Structure 1
Amino acid sequence: VAHPPGYPLFTLLAKVATALPGGSPAFRVNLLCGLVGAAAASLLFCTVFSQLFSCCQQKGQLGTLDNEIIVMFWKWHLTLLMALSFFGSQGVYPGALVGSNCEFLFSLFPSQISRLGAFCCGLSLCNQHTIVLYVACVVPWVLSWLFRKRELSLGHLLKLGLCFLAGLLPYLYLPASSYLNRARWTWGDQTTFQGFLTHFLREEYGTFNLAKSETGSSMGEMLLFQLAQMKSELSLPVLALALVACVSTALLKKQKKSPVIWLFTGMLCLYSLFFAWRANLDITKPLFLGVVERFWLQSSAVVAVLAGLGLATLASLGRSTVLEGTWLLPCLEWLPALALVASQVWANYSTCDQSNNYVVDKFARNVLSSMPTGAVILLRGDLPGNALRYLHYCEGMRPDITLVDQEMMTYEWYLPKLAKHLPGVYFPGNRWNPVEGVLPDGTLAFNLHRFLKVNKHKEVFVCIGLHEGDSTWRRSHSLWPWGTCEKLVPSGAVFDPGEWIRLTRNLYNWTEDYGSFSPSSWEAVANEEMWQARMKTAFFIFDLAETASVTAEMKSQLYTFAYTSYKEIVNSHPHHPVNWHKNYAIACERMLRLGRGDPETLLSETVKHFLLYTQKAEDDPQRQDILQAVQHLRGELQGLRRRKAE
């Protein structure tokens, strides 16, 4: 079962896709996402082409204009390993709702179409819960139309309800899967009605929240970002055409398509306002913005249809002028649509071409390959959690290791459901809690100290970071760097800096250039983690020299190891994270204090890298202090050179 609210429709479709031959499981599900994306564009195409207009040429051009939205959909349909999820089918259900509403309005058999629409409403809720906002607009609109036409009877209302419930049938997968309990990773316990409701309503997150315990941007800021995203993805002319459709409907009262336009506009406004209110992520952070903008696909689908209507309105105005009957009019109808499509392809092709994107896959393979035999990895966060679990469970990589999710261990359902799928790992209770013992609900809780004590026979690693709420591990263990991860080592173990540098120097084979991915992508996160991993051992040794209670000789050795490691890393990679400059400069300054190495070289390196850091890290609150220190060090360097010259 996927994370709340379960996404059963996508899960079932993905299961079918993985049964097909050829390629990895991720490739097959990505192929499914691509096909569904094409279906979404086709539905929107047909909505404009077949339902809203009577002129063949005009229908063709509007369908072409509508088809340009596939560029935006494609970006999120081929999201590779990390974001491979329900977003791949998120565009098709707004398209189905839009199309069924148009068919309903113009059909000779509206009762039959209304039943199809009710089924689509239920089915769409099996894929993404936010589409309930569209359903909340569609249902009263259809019922009121049927009532005015005297076609709404108790029997028909019952049929509509049954069709809606039929659309929700995929949700039966949740209790069935939970009852069988065969999955090696799942979320929640849906064997009880309360457990099902908890998952269905996303109570562990907050029903319409995007994250737990996060503070989001303001509603106004969210709407401005959405408008900017639409302008970027759909282009300004498309937004202008959508506005033309709305304005023309308000001014021209007797248009047959006016009710549908008002419905679409209401759906767009309700969705955008409600989502801006409830999306509790700080979109000033690029990664969070990347998460939020996926949910804007549904509103962008409606904007694309409205843009098609706007272009049709402008074309109809041309038909009432002297251009009617001339060859110029068809050209003027086709040119805007073709120009918009061409501009979208030109602007977005490189973004959509993900044929060589294996960054997250390589990240996970490097991390798994670096682990010793039989290791236990305590996972934290989406990147290591999803990427490592995929390779381990779906492709069978490193079956000897065990993956345990830190956050999931804090839920009451995790260990009762999944402990049997984690062989060789002992859990001294039913739930992880900083305060061990019997909780008020009768659950036996254990802390990390107890967990490590009963699993002495295993090498335990954490990736990435440990849960801040439980520091009991400090009683008996220390964290030593191991690439992007850390190893939990018994406190009595003796740290050999030279040996540890040797062990961790070439853990990974990482060849991606630094800063080569969009900051809002998971590829950027994976790349950043891999680059920072190169310096973690040097940083750890330097911090040990700063804080550990050791002899002066040992402290000097630690500083020397850190400096040597920093120097090797910085000189090996001309383009690297900006904090490397600062760390290396501080290491040079410490070596200068110790009197080790050539003073002129150390001073020169300190000044050089502090200046490089201040040039690139303009938002560092210590920037002015660093610049003042640089001025002092420059004076020292000049004095040293004068003395040498004399």
Structure 2
Amino acid sequence: EGGGLPIAAAAAARRLRPRDAGAALQGGGLRGYGAAFAAAMVAVRVAMRLPSMHEGDNWYLWHYGRSHLEPLPPNAMLVVWGDLQQFSVRYLQLCEGYRTDVSVIDLAMASYHWYVPNQRSNLPRVHFPGEAYHPFPPLSPIPAFSLADLFDANAARMPMYTLPPPHNDISWQQRYRLLPVGILRRAMRREANTSLAEWIKHSSNALPTFPMPNASRYGVGTWEARMKEEAHSNIYAYVHDLLTEAARNSDQESIKHAVQVLESTIRQQTPHPDPNFVFHLGYAYQELLKLSRAAADLDRMITSFRTFLQAAPPSDERRKQVVGILDFYQRPRV
């Protein structure tokens, strides 16, 4: 990387020939050579940083956008929230013509009074039950709708998917479930019956398989780091729900699938694994141990929970629970 420095310095030196230097000193033209030398040094600094500035292999947001659209059934509705999801998805639709059958609604933008009137013609299959989105419609100065209202208006029209909704909008919770499907959620009426096997098959095929950005290259504050955080957060929700259902049904194969997803994600987080993922990996091995009684599952459970104790902050309330589990399983048997 530093090879450009002597080359550029030599080039600058060649420009300052002895007779030119003497003339410059006599005529006050040294400033011109100084400016040329300064410009050369700036060019050197840029050249030295080119490898770290190279983004030719940065397809992360492109993959991220596709991971939203690819698993959706035809003519689905996708509710997103914020610039990262909106721009990565809309770029693919508008610039590459990919999955233009999907109706994408940006809930953040829908809170502005101009959004819905403009989008009604762009999204003819979507029914907007008001003039703007508001988590608390009665407080809106214009006729507004909540997320539950949007679901109600379109449930019979098309399959509905969303990113995790805003925390201040809980209107959907009484009438809908949000089942993790890859990094998305599918909105389903609570009375609808969905078998565990069917849901796992559909959702596991939708998990992102592209490599995540390296934290040493894309630090906190970059779009890539934010994308990685969002993707892992949604994968965590999927695994949490999967383990809950699998443990309830003593489904060993589903627990093994959760282990595979967790281990793959934790490898991407090295050297600083998320304590939530490590805790659930230990929990998954604990559930497998109950069903298999295998020594290998015991060893992996202990290793996972020890890693959790190293990664979790002292304030994490699960630490006491994990210490109790380790004490129980490592206690000498009589």
TM-score normalised by L of structure 1: 0.42
- 8 Å contact from structure 1 (residues 377, 462) kept in 2: yes
Q: Which residue of 1 aligns with 2:17?
A: none
Deviations 1:375-428 (A, max 9, x none): 111111221111111111233221111111111222222112332211100011
The question of 1:61 aligning with 2:34 is answered: yes
CA contact (8 A) 2:178 2:188 kept: yes
Partners of 2:162 and 2:185 within 8 A in 1 = yes
Correspondent of 1:585 among 272, 279, 282: 282
Q: What is residue 181 of structure 2 aligned with on the other side? A: 482
Q: CA deviation at 1:623?
A: 7.2
* Alignment pair present for 1:555 and 2:248: yes
- CA apart distance, 1:622: 4.0
Distance 1:60 1:482, change over 3 A: farther
Number of matched pairs: 300
2:305 is the alignment partner of 1:610: yes
- The structure richer in helix per residue is 1
What displacement does 1:501 show?
1.6
Structure 1 residue aligned with 2:96: 395
Unaligned segments of structure 1, at least 5 residues: 1-53, 68-336, 546-553
1:384 and 2:85 aligned: yes
Contact 1:538/1:565 (<8 A) preserved? no
Task: Find the residue that maps to 1:557 and give its secondary structure.
Answer: coil
Q: Distance in 2 between matches of 1:341 and 1:619?
A: 48
Query: For 1:12-68, what per-residue CA distance to the aligned partner results, in whole angstroms no more than 9, with x for missing partners?
Result: xxxxxxxxxxxxxxxxxxxxxxxxxxxxxxxxxxxxxxxxxx954433433553x5x
Distance in 1 separating the partners of 2:213 and 2:331: 35
SS, match of residue 250 in structure 2:
helix
Tell whether the 8 Å contact from 1:483 to 1:536 is kept in structure 2 after alignment: no
Query: 2-side partners of 1:509 and 1:539: how far apart?
Result: 17
8 Å CA contact 1:538, 1:561 repeated in 2? no
Residue 161 of structure 2, aligned match among 461, 470, 492: 461
Partner of 1:201: none
Cα distance, 1:500 vs structure 2: 1.6
Quick one: structure 1 residues 574 and 481, their matched pair in 2 at CA, closer, same or farther if it must change by over 3 Å?
A: closer
Select the residue among 104, 107, 115 that pairs with 1:406. 107
The match for 1:539 is: 240
Shift of 1:489: 0.8
Aligned to 2:320: 625
CA distance in 1, matches of 2:332, 2:68: 49
Distance 1:418 1:624, change over 3 A: closer
Q: Is the 8 Å Cα contact of residues 182 and 235 (structure 2) preserved in structure 1?
A: yes
Q: Does 1:518 align with 2:218?
A: yes
Distance 1:615 1:503, change over 3 A: same
- The 3 A distance-change label for structure 1 pair 436 and 63 is same
> What is the one-letter code of the residue matched to 1:59?
G
**Structure 2 counterparts to residues 156-235 of structure 1, below 5 A:** none
Aligned residues: CA RMSD:
3.0
Give the whole-Å Cα distance in 1 for the aligned partners of 2:296 and 2:196.
25
Alpha carbons 1:535, 1:569 under 8 Å: kept: no
Q: How does 1:96-111 map to 2 (within 5 A)?
A: none
TM-score (norm 2): 0.77
Structure 2 residue runs without a partner (length 5+): 1-26
Aligned partner of 2:150 among 440, 445, 451:
451
Query: Is the Cα–Cα contact under 8 Å of residues 200 and 242 in structure 2 kept in the other structure?
Result: no
User: Structure 1 residues 619, 561: CA separation in 2 closer, same or farther (over 3 Å shift)?
Assistant: farther
| 1:474 partner SS | helix
Number of the residue aligned with 1:639: 332
SS in 1 for 2:180: strand
- State how far apart, in whole Å, the 1-side matches of 2:214 and 2:99 are: 30
Larger Rg belongs to: 1
2:264 matched to 1:565? no
Alpha carbons 1:510, 1:530 under 8 Å: kept: no
> 2:91 corresponds to which letter in structure 1?
Y
